[in-house]
Chain A
Amino acid sequence: MFRTLKTVLHVLMWGIVFSPFYFHVVLAEEESTGYWSGYISGQGRGFWQSPQFNDQRDGDISFATEPEYYKDWNNGLRAITFKPFIRIDSTDPERTHVDIREAHYLHVVGDWEWRVGIAKVFWGVTESQHLVDIINQTDLVENIDTEDKLGQPMIETTWLQDWGALQFYILPGFRERTFPGRHGRLRTGLVVDTDKEEYESGAEEYHVDWAIRLKTQFGPIDLGLSHFNGTSRNPELRPTVNSSGDIELIPFYGLIDQTGLDLQAIIGNWTWKLESILQTKKGRDFTAAVGGFEYTFYGVSESGADLGVLSEYHYDDRKQDAATPFQDDLFLGARYVFNDAQDTEILAGGLYDFDFSSKSFRVELQRRFSDSWKLESELQMFSNVANEDPQRDFHRDDYFQVDLAYYF
Chain B
Amino acid sequence: MKKSWTLIWQLLVSAIVFSASPFAWSETPEEKGLAIAIAADERDSGFETITADMVMILRNRQGQESTRYIRTRTLEVEGDGDKTLSIFDRPADVKHTAVLTYSHGLEPDDQWLYLPALKRVKRINSRNKSGPFVGSEFAFEDLGSQEVEKYSYKYLRDEACGEWDCYVVERYPEYEYSGYTRQIAWIDKAEYRPVKIEFYDRKDALLKTLTYSGYQEYIDYYWRPDEMFMENHQTGKTTTLKWSNYKFKTEVAERDFNPNALPRLR
Contact = CB atoms under 8 A, between A and B. Distances in A.
Interface range, A side: 35 or more
A170 to B, nearest CB: 18
A339 interface: yes
Interface in B70-101: 90-95
A217 B265 contact: no
Interface stretch (A13-21, A235-243, A263-271): A263-271
Contact of B135 (A39, A122, A299, A343): A343
Contact of A304 (B110, B132, B264): B132
A202 interface: no
B131 A299 contact: yes
A108 interface: yes
User: Interface extent on B, as a size class?
Assistant: 35 or more
B260 A372 contact: no
B125 interface: yes
A372 B127 contact: no
B128 A341 contact: no
B119 interface: yes
Given A122-B119, A147-B118, A217 B259 contact: yes
A342 B135 contact: yes
A405 interface: yes
Contact of A122 (B58, B118, B130): B118
Interface in A338-370: 338-343, 368
A336 interface: no
Contacts of B132: 303-304, 339
B63 to A, nearest CB: 13
Contacts of A387: none
B123 A264 contact: yes
Nearest to B202: A299
Interface in A363-408: 368, 371-372, 374, 405, 407-408
Nearest to A167: B260
A339 B259 contact: no
A286 interface: no
Interface stretch (A45-53, A157-165, A173-181, A244-252): A157-165
Interface in B244-266: 251, 253, 255, 258-261, 264-266
Interface string A69-113: 010100110010000000000000000000000000010100101
B125 A407 contact: no
